[in-house]
Structure 1
Amino acid sequence: MIVARELAVSVGARTLLEPTSFQIAAGDRVGLVGRNGAGKTTLTRILAGEGQASGGAVQSTGLVGYLPQDPRTGDLDVWARDRILSARGLDTILTRLETHSGAMASATDDDARDAAMAKYARAEAELASAGGYGAESEAARIAANLGLPERVLTQPIRTLSGGQRRRVELARILFSGADVLLLDEPTNHLDADSVVWLRSFLANYPGGVLVISHDTGLLDAVVTKVFHLDANRAELDQYALTWKKYLLQREVDEKRRRRERANAERKAGRLLEQAEKMGAKATKAVAAQNMARRAEKLLAATEGERVADRVAKIRFPDPAPCGKVPLTASDLSKSYGSLEVFTGVDLAIDRGANVVVLGLNGAGKTTLLRLLAGVEESDTGEVTPGHGLRLGYYAQEHETIDVHRSVLENMVSASPGLDDTQVRKILGSFLFTGDDVDKPARVLSGGEKTRLALAMLVVSAANVLLLDEPTNNLDPASRREVLEAIRTYAGAVILVTHDEGAVEALQPDRVLLLPDGDEDLWNPEYVELISLA
């Protein structure tokens, strides 16, 4: 259980949450919602014990499993299976069993053999208390349902794609059996079948669950309570309702607030009008002051009119002039150790062309974009820039952002030709204002990092955009802005996405299928592959 008492959250001078109390108990399935930048990720980090509240206290009993938006994967040389098993300490137990088994087999005398057997028996007892070999099978089932087959589980973390690493972390958290799960955008990088499975898993989870998600299907299937973090009022509205009932009730509440405010303003207006008339007469000055105070109390007792949630105004840059074929790649291949990702991929990007890259998770889609962007070197072949090429790269893991710099410093590095005023104006259009621009990038939520990465892209004057999951971590309004930016961009785009809406906005000319590297003209039959990608 997690209990928050008079919890307050601030970032710099900005208040994200006024003091409030709540709890997450066994059986509670809470959807934490609110617009991007409202503070959902910051609040969740505090509940997980990884952030500091500005007031109040958080008390946790039992194990808390936390999946951040940018999960840490631990030792990159560890096998994926061992990373998942480490949630219950099974990885070290199984390693000891293997070691003691080898010691028994290689023992040269009875004493050494007996000592190894005793150690093996103790490790076997530990394994039994942790769930035995059945627990190992449970971990494998969870992994398989999240799109992590056996061949992936037997690879080191460093050889996996960003999406695979995130799914390993999600599998680890779900396998932990924690008393409370805190999940920040758990459906990122999941295919359609895995999302359906996750909905069922969370809906039947016996512990407490708090989930941040823009997947309304997940919220509808899972949550029994909704916490709405209102960025305008810095308050947490708590609803003991399912998702659809919450939506209806929230609309009722908004209408009630507007009605109460209008009534109070009318009454206050009459009182102030009367006070003004009476104030001219010295004998009635005290009564006039009392009326004015009553008007102020009336207005103070009602919640201010809700300011419409601001949305970043996103428009990709006018592309710089370039040649007819600004980017080509020939005979690209990439392997990580013994794992071959793809071989012999050829690609020619014409000026203004739109290409979508499809393939199952782990097929190398992100790797291909990294090669084209020059972030990684290919094992064979080469990437050749054409006349006037200016690349803009949006990375799904936000690698283009320097987490050791502030928001403003990142933006300045991406736009050396702009002065401070121009940079701040552009950041403002992406909802970074005031003290926000001085925040270190490492504390940004996934949605805020997405906005910053897009802002850096906007000032690039790129004529070829490499977009890797550009709609992840965005609320519906911001997603619509990104889709419109894709729709209206005049340069060339190479897109990797699970979002059918993004492909529809792109209106691709061609499709590149990985890992085989086959190219084809786009046709609607490929749509069903998008959510599986």
Structure 2
Amino acid sequence: MITATDLEVRAGVRTLLSAPGSALRIQPGDRIGLVGRNGAGKTTTLRILAGAGEPYAGTVTRTGEIGYLPQDPREGDLDVLATDRVLSARGLDTLLRDLEKQQLLMAEIADDAERERAVRRYGQLEDRFSALGGYVAESDAARICHSLGLPDRVLGQTLRTLSGGQRRRIELARILFAASDGGGRSATTLLLDEPTNHLDADSITWLRGFLQQHEGGLVVISHDVGLLADVVNKVWFLDAVRGEADIYAMGWQKYLDARASDEQRRRRERANAEKKASALKAQAAKLGAKATKAVAAQNMVRRAERMLADLDDVRVADRVARIKFPDPATCGKTPLTAANLTKLYGSLEIFAGVDLAIDRGSRVVVLGLNGAGKTTLLKLLAGVEQPSSGAVEPGYGLQIGYFAQEHDTLDDDATVWENIRHAAPDAGEQDLRGLLGAFMFSGPQLDQPAGTLSGGEKTRLALAGLVSSSANVLLLDEPTNNLDPISREQVLDALRSYAGAVVLVTHDPGAAEALSPERVILLPDGTEDHWSADYAELIELA
């Protein structure tokens, strides 16, 4: 259970949420959808509820276990096995290693008394292992992993060798394993930020079922409307205009109807109040001309001002980023080629012998199962990583624009302004301020550290960096992740109109459709083929 009282949430100098005299409560059985436009403070609020951040004001009390999935889980030891990372949620990884060591010790001891002590120690470890679910729990962990599209091959690898999407699914599996007693029911409070990112359709269906059966508390941020409609029984709407949280104790569809009614009511109340206030001020103006009526006129003006001050702000239409990729710089017929690319992590081969040529203005989608090396290929093409063998060759006039799915191109410690200045060092200050304004960054937000931005805001900032360039080859890795529907459509419109070459990695069928690709590259084999409707059906599965 979590209770946040008198909560005030800020990002830099911006107040995202101010709730004096009120409380946000998460109790067992609550399945809450935390919604609001990009930048409203959803991710920041969830971090504070989880204890990963501190509120500007107010208190948060927590009881029981908490499972928190951030948008970009980057902490922890990357040299541990994936399966050990999942099992560590219940301490089973350590117990299994201790049991194995104790077995070896018992086999080596010659002294009867020492062997007896070792046997007792083994029995104590085994009792503890059984109390935590034992081999049934280990099987449960494997079931959860497989349901999230993580095969045994991946579970036997270290986290360092996995893609960002695989590592995120390992963290989700770890959290769900900790919360599961074998039937998906627990008193654990789950705080999940975009849990369906990097999941295929089957995994999303399974996750919905798991969350529907979860008996602990749940707060989920998601742009997957289907998940919200199937799972949540309450909605917290963070209103970015008013800086308040509206609480709706109802399911998703009823919430949509209630919120629409609330906004209509606020508009009517303001229109009526403005009409009355205008009449009072007009009457006050008439009275004010007479010295004997001056006090009465001033009272009327004050009454009109109080009437307007007591009203809630009317929610204005959400601002949207005005995204348009630049006209590409002049380049040769084939600005980017790669020959015999091979990438190894230790002894693990990600892919081998990949050849490709990116012609001027060409449009290519990279497909492959999770872990096939799609993100790695884009990193090699961008020069962020080096191949184990083979080479990437720039052609005449090549200018690359790279969008990393985990926002690796941003400096989390630098401000929004410092990041865009780094992306476009030769641009004029007014031009950059205008560009950031088009991407909905202005005023005090320019001084906000990039690490405190939401996932959607980071996506917009990274895209602004691309727009500030004259790139003629865009390497885009999941560019629509974490975006609300309106911002997503803006990105897709920009893709449709861009005249340069694009190499795209995505799980979003709409992104592939907007690109109108000519070719597809299939990993890990590196096979190249003409794009067809058959490949479009594989987008969500890849």
Matched, 1:134 2:136: yes
Is this contact kept in 1: 2:241–2:313, CA < 8 A? no
294, 300, 304: which is aligned to 1:291?
A: 300
Task: Provide Cα deviations, 1:447-483, integer angstroms capped at 9, x if missing partner.
Answer: 1111111111111211000000000011111101110
Hey, what does 2:257 align to over in structure 1? Answer: 248
Task: Provide Cα deviations, 1:272-322, integer angstroms capped at 9, x if missing partner.
Answer: 111110111111112212221221222122212222211111111211000
Counterpart residue type for residue 8 of structure 1: E
What does residue range 204-223 of structure 1 map to in structure 2 within 5 Å? 204-223=213-232
Q: Report the secondary structure of 2:528's partner residue.
A: strand
Task: Provide Cα deviations, 1:54-103, integer angstroms capped at 9, x if missing partner.
Answer: 21111110011110001134111100001011111111111111111111
Q: What CA distance in whole angstroms lies between the structure 2 residues aligned with 1:395 and 1:117?
A: 53
Counterpart residue type for residue 318 of structure 2: D
403, 410, 435: which is aligned to 1:401?
A: 410
Q: How many Å apart are 1:399 and its aligned residue? A: 1.0
Q: What CA distance in whole angstroms lies between the structure 2 residues aligned with 1:137 and 1:366?
A: 30
Q: How many Å apart are 1:114 and its aligned residue? A: 2.0
Which segments of structure 1 move beyond 3 Å, counting only runs of 4 or more?
A: none
What does residue range 155-170 of structure 1 map to in structure 2 within 5 Å? 155-170=157-172
What does residue range 377-526 of structure 1 map to in structure 2 within 5 Å? 377-526=386-535
Matched, 1:21 2:31: no
Q: How many Å apart are 1:11 and its aligned residue? A: 2.3
Hey, what does 2:175 align to over in structure 1? Answer: 173
Matched, 1:369 2:373: no
Query: Structure 1 stretch 286-295 or stretch 201-210: which is displaced more?
Result: 286-295
Hey, what does 1:6 align to over in structure 2? Answer: 6
338, 347, 362: which is aligned to 2:347?
A: 338
Hey, what does 2:57 align to over in structure 1? Answer: 55
What does residue range 178-327 of structure 1 map to in structure 2 within 5 Å? 179-327=188-336
Task: Provide Cα deviations, 1:308-346, integer angstroms capped at 9, x if missing partner.
Answer: 211111111211000000011111111222322111111
Q: Report the secondary structure of 1:462's partner residue.
A: coil
Q: How many Å apart are 1:50 and its aligned residue? A: 1.4
Counterpart residue type for residue 15 of structure 1: T
Matched, 1:71 2:73: yes
Counterpart residue type for residue 195 of structure 1: I
Q: How many Å apart are 1:12 and its aligned residue? A: 2.9
Counterpart residue type for residue 83 of structure 1: R
Hey, what does 1:90 align to over in structure 2? Answer: 92
Q: What CA distance in whole angstroms lies between the structure 1 residues aligned with 2:45 and 2:260?
A: 24
Hey, what does 1:348 align to over in structure 2? Answer: 357
Q: What CA distance in whole angstroms lies between the structure 1 residues aligned with 2:338 and 2:276?
A: 71
Q: Report the secondary structure of 1:262's partner residue.
A: helix
Q: What CA distance in whole angstroms lies between the structure 2 residues aligned with 1:233 and 1:284?
A: 37
Q: What CA distance in whole angstroms lies between the structure 1 residues aligned with 2:14 and 2:445?
A: 9
Q: What CA distance in whole angstroms lies between the structure 2 residues aligned with 1:503 and 1:53?
A: 40
Q: What CA distance in whole angstroms lies between the structure 2 residues aligned with 1:226 and 1:232?
A: 18
Query: Structure 1 stretch 392-401 or stretch 300-309: which is displaced more?
Result: 300-309
Q: What CA distance in whole angstroms lies between the structure 2 residues aligned with 1:73 and 1:194?
A: 24
TM-score (norm 1): 0.98
Q: What CA distance in whole angstroms lies between the structure 2 residues aligned with 1:153 and 1:35?
A: 36
Q: Report the secondary structure of 2:331's partner residue.
A: coil
Is this contact kept in 2: 1:73–1:169, CA < 8 A? no
How many residues matched? 533
Q: Report the secondary structure of 1:335's partner residue.
A: strand
Query: Structure 1 stretch 424-433 or stretch 456-465: which is displaced more?
Result: 424-433
Hey, what does 2:156 align to over in structure 1? Answer: 154
Counterpart residue type for residue 22 of structure 1: L
Q: Report the secondary structure of 1:529's partner residue.
A: coil
Hey, what does 2:182 align to over in structure 1? Answer: none
Q: How many Å apart are 1:373 and its aligned residue? A: 0.8
Counterpart residue type for residue 528 of structure 1: E
Q: What CA distance in whole angstroms lies between the structure 1 residues aligned with 2:110 and 2:397?
A: 71
Counterpart residue type for residue 157 of structure 2: Q
Q: What CA distance in whole angstroms lies between the structure 2 residues aligned with 1:518 and 1:171?
A: 32
Identity between Structure 1 and Structure 2 (%): 65
Counterpart residue type for residue 62 of structure 1: G
Is this contact kept in 1: 2:263–2:314, CA < 8 A? no
Query: Structure 1 stretch 15-24 or stretch 296-305: which is displaced more?
Result: 296-305
Is this contact kept in 2: 1:73–1:165, CA < 8 A? no
Q: What CA distance in whole angstroms lies between the structure 2 residues aligned with 1:106 and 1:443?
A: 54
Q: Report the secondary structure of 1:298's partner residue.
A: helix
Is this contact kept in 1: 2:12–2:449, CA < 8 A? no
Query: Structure 1 stretch 39-48 or stretch 294-303: which is displaced more?
Result: 294-303
Is this contact kept in 2: 1:271–1:295, CA < 8 A? yes
Counterpart residue type for residue 169 of structure 1: E
Q: How many Å apart are 1:267 and its aligned residue? A: 0.9
Counterpart residue type for residue 280 of structure 1: A
Is this contact kept in 2: 1:331–1:344, CA < 8 A? yes
Change (3 A) 1:298 1:404: closer
Task: Provide Cα deviations, 1:415-448, integer angstroms capped at 9, x if missing partner.
Answer: 0111333222212221221221122222222111
Q: How many Å apart are 1:13 and its aligned residue? A: 2.5
Q: How many Å apart are 1:404 and its aligned residue? A: 2.6
Hey, what does 2:112 align to over in structure 1? Answer: 110
Counterpart residue type for residue 400 of structure 2: L
TM-score (norm 2): 0.97
Unpaired runs of 5+ in structure 1? Answer: none
Q: How many Å apart are 1:105 and its aligned residue? A: 1.7
Q: What CA distance in whole angstroms lies between the structure 1 residues aligned with 2:540 and 2:193?
A: 20
